[in-house]
Amino acid sequence: MEKENRFKLFMPPRLSAGQVSAGRSQGFNRCSDDDFKLPFDVWSRGEITDSDTISQQVKLCSEVDEENPETMNELFSKLYKEAEKIKQWKLTVETELNQKERKLQENRKIIEAQNKAIQELQFENGKLHLKLEDEICENKDLLKEAAASRHLCNLLEETYTRFTEKTSKYEQEKEATIQLYEELHSNVERMTVAFEELCVQAENDRLEMSFKLKEEAEKVDKFEKECRLEVSQKEKQIPALTIQRDEKDDVIKDIKAQLQTSQNKIADLMEAKLHNEEMLKESQVSKEHLRVELEEAKISLQKAEVAQKNLETEFQTTVKTLIQVTGEKEEQEEECKKMKALLAALTEEFETSVANLKSLLQEEQNRLKKSEDDSKLLTLELQNKSAELEEMTKVKCDKEVQLEELSETLKEFHGLKAQLTSTAEKEQDYLKQLVTLKTDLEQEALKNEQLTVYLSKLSLEKEQTAQEKNAVAAELKKLQEQQEDSKKKEDNTKQLVENLEEANSQLRNELESLKEKMAKTGEEMKSTLDEREENVKRTENEISRKEKPLKIVENKMNNLKKQVENKTKCMEELQQENKVLKKKITTESKKSNTYEGKVNKLQLEMENINKQHKEEVDIYKKDIETRKVNENKLREEVEKMRLLCDETAMIQRETDARCQHKITEMVALMEKHKNEYDKLVEEKDAELKVYKMKQQKQISSERALENELSCLKKELSSLKEQLKAEMEEKENFVKEHSGSMIPESEKKHKTYVIKTPPRDKMQSGRSTNLPAEQSSRKKQKVLVQLDTQSDSSEHTDLLSIVSEEEMFKNLYKDYPQASQLHSTAPKKSPAPCSVKSPGSALKLKTMRRMREAGWTALSKMDRKRKIKDAVKLFA
């Protein structure tokens, strides 16, 4: 196989040169197995040399293949080379083969040896095999044991695993139990702590509750005490309250009684109110009439007043003229005495006319006052006026006659005539006025007549309406009567119909009875016929015997038939009568229908009329209600206005009273103030006067004092000279004597006392001053009394120059008055102000002016305040 392979390998060198090398290499590679190591090692070596040549051949083939266009010579050369190479190769191969054969022999020898060895080894192997078998058995046993042990191990593992699982579970559970234990422990500890805390809290709560209970007990006790006290107090109050309650009950009863009485009074008042209202209505109606009449009378009054005024003016003018006329007439009388009587008569007549006119005026005034009376009074007045007018006409005729007489007599007095004509004209004016009055009266009469006519018309209308109402009522009554008659007729017809129906029913019943009878008779007849037939059959034999009864029976039958016929006739007649009655019923029903229609129409007319009447009544009622409402409103308004008027009156009264009170108060205040001011003014005037007197006194005193001062100054100068002389003497004495005379000199030192006593003592002071002056002239001691004023006006200053006591006393011995003055200590003048020095006169004046201004300001302020108060009061 291998050789073949080699040959195969060697055969196609060219074609598969490349592949051969690869295959060889592969084969070499394949031969590299362990199983084929020994045999192939030899071949591998031999193939290696061949391979080189093959490789060379391959290369050459490749080169030949590649170098086709090379020359054949080269190829042949190559071929020779190759052949040589092949030969060489063959040689080599043969050598190798020989070598290999040798080797083979060696190897065979070796092999034999080895075979022997192998046999030995096989024997050993057998032995070993047995041993191995034994060992194998043992091993099997061991394996079994091992398997068993393995099985046990597996079981152990399983148990181990289970144990591990259980241990793990145990551990988990242990851990869980430990945790639970810890939790429980902690819970238990918490519980213990909680219980302890609860104990403590319980104790605390117990204590707190005890305290609270105590406190609440105390509070309850306090509350109970308070409640008991309150209960006691309230129990004490209970009787008082019961007494109050009883009193209040009594009061309530009284009030209830009063309420009842008041209610009764209210009822009575209501009744009275109703009466009063009725009276008010009547009075208002009368008031309205009266108002109308008032208005008319007012108009007439106005007109009459105008006429009156005109008449009065004219009367005044006539009076004036009459006066003039009288004067002229007197002059004329003086001039002509003869005419005086006539003129007096004329004047008398004029006066009478004036009196008549006055009476007329008075009458007219009375008429005006009585204008509120009825139209009858007006007519009477008119009649009176007409009579008066007639009288006036008569008077006028008389006047005219007189005028004519006067004209006849007084032709000389054209002036009188003119006056008379003027009077006549005036009388004519009077007449015209009277005519107008007549016309007015006639107009008023006409108006009254018209009013009466209107009233008569209204009354007539009312009567007509009443008559119409009555007529309508009568018609209604007639219609109602007709309706009733128709109803009665209907009833009668109905009754007739009912009667007829009853008759019909009776007849029907009779018919039915007759029919029944007929039926019965028929049946009877049938029966009889049958019987008779039977009898006929029976009595066919007896026919001969009883033909007579048969004939009788036939006659009876005939009679019965006749009766039936008669009855049928009667039935027919009755039916006819029924038909006639039915027709009558229909006619009567038609009549009744017509009557019903008429009744309905009448009812409708009645309803319409009633409606109209109701509407009219409603309208009247509404009018009445509206008028009532208006009346009520007017009443209310009137009442309101009355109340308002009353209130306003009251307010006015109150305001008037208040004003009067205030005015009185203000007047009193003003009077008081005036009195006060007057008093103050008087006081101040007195003070002013006093001040002026004082001022004058002061001035005079000042002058005197100035004179005194001048004198004193002179004296002082003289005294100073004397003092100087004395001082010189003293000094001389002192110089001569020791200083023991100093105090004497001090004592002998003269000082002057100037006192300022009050002003009231000035006079006395003056009196003393004179002697003092006199004494001063004699001596060197002087009492000068001054009353000077300082800047302050309330007290007086004192300029005091004290003199020696001895000298002063000597003076006082001579002048006891001065001693009195001296004894009297200088006092401060209680006077409020006393300006007496010349330098302060201006101050006095200014102060007075200031005070006056202040007083005026105060008075003005007071007056202003009072005026403001008055204004506020009156505002």
Q: Applying CB under 8 A, which residues contact other proteins?
A: 132, 136, 139, 142-143, 146, 149-150, 153, 156-157, 160, 163-164, 167, 170, 174, 177-178, 181, 184-185, 188-189, 191-192, 195-196, 198-199, 202-203, 206, 209-210, 213-214, 217, 221
Query: Residue 521, SS3?
Result: helix
**Minimum distance between the CB of residue 146 and other proteins, rounded to whole angstroms?**
5
In angstroms, what CA-CA distances link 248 with 263, 382, 693, 850?
21, 73, 81, 72
Q: Which is nearer to other proteins, 126 or 830 (CB)?
A: 126
395 C-beta neighbours (distance < 10 Å), count: 19
Alpha-carbon distance of 731 to 850, in angstroms, equals 58
Question: Strands, E, within 41-91: which ranges?
Answer: none
Minimum CB–partner distance for residue 138 and other proteins (Å): 10
Shortest spacing between CB 117 and other proteins, in angstroms: 17
- Which CB sits closer to other proteins, 83 or 178? 178
| Shortest Å distance, C-beta 183 to other proteins | 11
Closest approach of other proteins to the CB of residue 259, in Å: 53
Provide the greatest CA pair distance for the chain: 251
Question: Residue 192 CB, nearest distance to other proteins (Å)?
Answer: 5
List residues bridging with 615 in a β-sheet. Answer: none
Helix extents (H) in 751-838: 762-778, 805-814, 816-823
* Cβ at position 36, least distance to other proteins in Å: 15
How many H helices and E strands in the chain? 13, 2
Nearer to other proteins, 180 or 401 (CB): 180
Which residue, 3 or 151, is less far from other proteins as judged by CB? 151
Q: Quick one: 167 or 630, whose CB is closer to other proteins?
A: 167
Name every residue whose Cβ is closer than 8 Å to that of residue 690 and which is 6 or more positions away in sequence. none
- Count Cα atoms within 13 angstroms, Cβ side, for 725: 6
Q: What angle do CA 429, 431, 437 make, to 5 degrees?
A: 105
Of 190 and 720, CB closest to other proteins? 190
Alpha-carbon distances, residue 488 vs 178, 495, 582, 596 (angstroms) = 125, 10, 21, 12
Closest approach of other proteins to the CB of residue 159, in Å: 9
Shortest Å, Cβ 1 to other proteins: 22
Q: Which is nearer to other proteins, 22 or 188 (CB)?
A: 188
Nearer to other proteins, 183 or 618 (CB): 183
CA distance 230 to 236: 9
How far, CA to CA in Å, does 639 sit from each of 145, 280, 624, 645, 656? 149, 12, 21, 9, 24
Quickly count: other Cβ atoms within 10 Å of residue 782's Cβ.
Answer: 24
* Residue partners of 717: CB distance under 8 A and separation at least 6: none
Lookup: tokens for 568: 């049928």
Copy the structure tokens of residue 664. Answer: 């009185």
Q: Which is nearer to other proteins, 52 or 196 (CB)?
A: 196
Which CB sits closer to other proteins, 191 or 634?
Answer: 191
List beta partners, residue 294.
none
Whole-angstrom distance, CA of residue 650 vs CA of residue 643: 10
Looking at the Cβ atoms of 199 and 229, the one nearer to other proteins is: 199
Q: Is 789 helix (H, G, I), strand (E, B) or coil?
A: strand
**Interacting residues of 705 by C-beta distance below 8 A, sequence separation 6+:** 786
| Four-residue CA torsion sign, 121, 122, 123, 124 | positive
Q: How many other C-beta atoms are found inside a 10 Å radius of the C-beta of residue 55?
A: 14
Q: Nearest distance from residue 70's CB to other proteins, in Å?
A: 57
- CB of residue 119 to other proteins, shortest distance in Å: 17
